[in-house]
Amino acid sequence: MKITAVQPFYLKMPQITDAADGTQDTLLVRVCTDEGIEGWGECDASPLVSLAAYCCPMSHGNIINICESLIGETLDSPKDVLRLHEKALRNGLDIQQIHHAYSGADIALWDIIGKKLGEPIYRLLDDSSDSIAYSKLPYASVLFGDTPEATYQIATCLREQGYRAAKFGWGPMGKFGEENDIALVRAAREGMGQDAQLMIDAGVVWGTDHETAYARAKQFSPFSPTWLEEPLSPDAIESYGALSKRNPPVPIAAGEGSGTYRMAEDLILHGGIQFVQIDVGRIGGITVAYRVRQLAERHGIQYVNHTFKSHLSVAASLHVFATNESFDLLEYPAAGSELSQNLTVERLEVAADGRVRLTDTPGLGVRVDREAMRKYLVPVRIQVSDREIFQSLDL
């Protein structure tokens, strides 16, 4: 089978706001083959910055775009997916965004190879032939309300919807003093009830200030959060190390900002985190996320997905760690734009037992809804002098 086309698509909501809501736009990547099998992937990034990595003109031997690396290539086995990953990254050695941007293409290639071999992706990643996709406990991922009262309302709603776990993040956390921080966590706990799992996402608000991060972990511990997420900046590795050396009473989670394997490795080896959160649409796709999963297994820490996009990304994320029963939590976008909610034909619904599981459908098991795509597709045309280097396709 040969790769015949690699096509990025920029989709967005009519209005973009400055809320920390990554579902307002997206970059989808379609890869086509000469056997008529196509695959799809989604990047969690600035869509047009990533799109450039698919079409930028060659500068020299270390700046060759993703389309040029893939088109015409052979794709017959998982080994080819790994080989092409290496090739695209080597060709794009000096393109800073290459790992990040390649995520969509890598997911699409896994989707294709799963469809060709008639296997769900999780089974192709795991060497053992009897690999099982375990169900996961979805945790609703939402932003804090502007006030403790609004947060309490959101939590109550989630509990009424049946969620047994939820993460509250960003918004006012860390911005209006310790009393407000504690009140926000108390409100989330009271709204969710004592038996729910509660996660707190500080949204990198304390930068390198590990003293404040430690103080908040202590202050939040009476509300028994499962973790305190990103209290510090993604690259504040020394501060993470200093924080974890003090054994905070709440486990520390981080990793969603990892744009390369090395960043996640650094957090695990030197940051001392207990939950590593990987976004399959940022770190270089399923290939790299799976390597981080294996690293987490070797170090005895928990792997969790980071996902705040469509169900295409939820599915891609879940294939990475479905076969490890002890990695039980799945970040599940409970809110999000119409675009992200409607983008796929299939959704990974929460079953009657409150859990989410993959099907045995070959590939990702989730298809893009062309009608929905049409509604949000933004035409893009990039021209350099009189040469057109990119023109988005009609669907």
Sketch the per residue contact string, 217 through 236, with Mg ion: x for CB under 5 A, - otherwise: --------------------
- Rounded to a whole number of angstroms, the minimum distance from the CB of residue 201 to Mg ion is 4
Burial track 107-139 (b if 16+ CB lie within 10 A, e otherwise)? bbbbbbbbbbbebbbbbbbbeeeebebbbbbbb
We find the least distance from the C-beta atom of residue 253 to Mg ion, in angstroms, to be 8
Q: Which residue number, 121 or 143, has a Cβ lying nearer to Mg ion?
A: 143
What is residue 180's three-state secondary structure?
helix
- 103 and 283 Cβ atoms separated by less than 8 Å: yes
Least CB distance to Mg ion at residue 154 (A): 16
Q: Using the rule CB under 5 A, is 106 a contact of Mg ion?
A: no
**Cβ of residue 21: shortest distance to Mg ion, in angstroms?**
12
- Cβ atoms of 356 and 327 within 8 Å: the answer is no
Through-space distance between the first and last CA atoms of the chain, rounded to whole angstroms: 23
Closer CB to Mg ion, residue 41 or residue 169? 169
Residue closer to Mg ion, measured from CB, 282 or 311:
282
What does the DSSP assignment read for 100-134? HHHHHHHHHHHHHHHHHHT-BHHHHHSSSTT----
Of 157-216, binders to Mg ion (CB under 5 A) are 201
Give the DSSP H or E segment for 156.
helix 148-160
Question: Smaller CB distance to Mg ion: residue 183 or 304?
Answer: 304
Question: Of 181 and 201, which has the nearer Cβ to Mg ion?
Answer: 201
Distance CA 214, CA 232 (A): 11
| Cβ distance to Mg ion smaller for residue 141 or 323 | 141
Residues 35-54 interacting with Mg ion (rule: CB under 5 A): none
CA dihedral 266, 305, 161, 150 (to 10 degrees): 30
- Residues contacting residue 352 through CB under 8 Å, at least 6 positions apart: none
Minimal distance, residue 226 CB to Mg ion, in Å = 13
Sheet containing 25-33: order of strands: 3-12, 25-33, 38-43
Rounded CA separation 165/226 (Å): 9
Number of amino acids touching Mg ion (CB under 5 A): 1
Closest residue to Mg ion: CB criterion: 201
Nearest-angstrom CA–CA distance, 79 and 127: 13
Least Cβ distance, residue 126 to Mg ion (angstroms): 27
148 vs 257, beta carbon nearer Mg ion: 257
Cβ at position 308, least distance to Mg ion in Å: 8
Provide the binding-site residues for Mg ion, judged by CB under 5 A: 201
